[in-house]
Amino acid sequence: MSLMAGKRGLVFGIANDYSIAWAITEQLHKEGAELGFTHLPDRDPANPKMERRVRKLVDPIGAKMLVSCDVQQDADLDKTFALAKETFGEIDFVVHSIAYAPIDDLKGPVYGCSRDGFKTAMDISVFSLMAICKRAQALMPNGGSIITLSYLGGERVIPGYNVMGLCKAALESSVGYLAHELGQKKIRVNALSAGPIKTLSSSAVKDFDSMLNMYGAMAPLRRNVEVEEVGKTGLYLLSDMSTGVTGETLHVDSGYHVMGAPPADAKFS
């Protein structure tokens, strides 16, 4: 019996086939989930690049819905969940794999972040989870599972991660509060804290390649994490394999987060 047979859910945050949300989707699809997706709105309706990029991925796996959604717009969120209700009736899970900070604010220093940049980063990267939970819970009368993607830069100072670190700290805190509030409705909320993975978003983080090298040298497993491993842990958190787990931040980072100093054999290139 497939892990996700009979389960229906929404995935927010596929930009392309490098996206972590896509790696999670591949696992969910393999296990029989019925899936709906969002894409970023296209600026030029005559040239819908965003929609095309996501449609190319999700049509072949039998997507039940694909809708444009900017999480900064309440009307877009309302439209997305109205369509989910029409398409699925009830849903069992949501993947929130969204983050953004304006590049000038992301570059740092943190004390130089603009007020507007801070608000935008927090709105897209943190408030969106709360806004999604509010709407998702109404479609989960029998409970469900919601996951978000985080990074160690929310728990410790990772030079270069800057304002996004502040966002991830707030995101992980919100996971606890949301897990508490939704627990009685049998809805679980967890964060998956992934090691560094090359994607569209991570290319905006300064010195990303040296971070990859450092993980390979320092992590207990002495290697970087594969995106497929993040996908499989996403599947675990969304399936009934994890029914006792909520409010958790689960690290999928080859164990890097437990280290306090480099191992004796560590060589940094």
Q: Which residues of 124-163 are buried (b: 16+ CB within 10 A; e: fewer)?
A: bbbbbbebbbebbbebbeeebbbbbbbbbbbbeebebbbb
Which residues share a beta bridge with 34? Answer: 8
Closest approach, Cβ 110 to ligand 0WD, in A, equals: 16
Instruction: State yes or no: residue 126 binds ligand 0WD (CB under 6 A).
Output: no
Is 33 an interacting residue with respect to ligand 0WD (CB under 6 A)? no
Stretch that binds ligand 0WD, among 65-73, 110-118, 180-188, 239-247 (CB under 6 A): 65-73
CA angle 70, 74, 45 (to 5 degrees): 40
Q: At 162, list the tokens.
A: 């800057």
Nearer to ligand 0WD, 75 or 264 (CB): 75
Distances (CA, A) of 190 to 105, 109, 209: 27, 30, 28
Judged by DSSP in three states, 17 sits in coil
Q: Check residue 40 for interaction with ligand 0WD (CB under 6 A).
A: yes
Is 64 or 257 the residue whose CB approaches ligand 0WD more closely? 257
* Residue span binding ligand 0WD (CB under 6 A) among the ranges 95-103, 135-143, 243-251, 259-267: 95-103
Query: Residues 203 to 262: which contact ligand 0WD by CB under 6 A?
Result: none
Position among 57, 83, 98, 238 found at the interface with ligand 0WD (CB under 6 A): 98
CB of 105 to ligand 0WD, least distance (A): 14
Burial of 69 (0-12, 13-18, 19+ CB in 10 A): buried
Identity of the residue, 9 or 196, whose beta carbon is nearer to ligand 0WD in the bound complex: 196
Least distance (Å) from ligand 0WD to the CB of residue 159?
Answer: 15
Nearer to ligand 0WD, 93 or 100 (CB): 100
100 is a site residue for ligand 0WD (CB under 6 A): yes
**Closer CB to ligand 0WD, 128 or 239, in the complex:** 128
Q: How far apart are the first and last CA of the chain?
A: 46
Distance of alpha carbon 267 from alpha carbon 77, whole angstroms: 47
User: In the stretch 182-201, what mask flags binding to ligand 0WD with x, by CB under 6 A?
Assistant: ------------x-xx-xxx
Burial of residue 86, with CB atoms counted within 10 A of its CB: 0-12 exposed, 13-18 middle, 19 or more buried: exposed
Q: How far apart are alpha carbons 258 and 224 in whole angstroms?
A: 15
Contact residues toward ligand 0WD (CB under 6 A) are 13, 15, 18-21, 40, 69-72, 97-100, 124, 149-151, 194, 196-197, 199-202
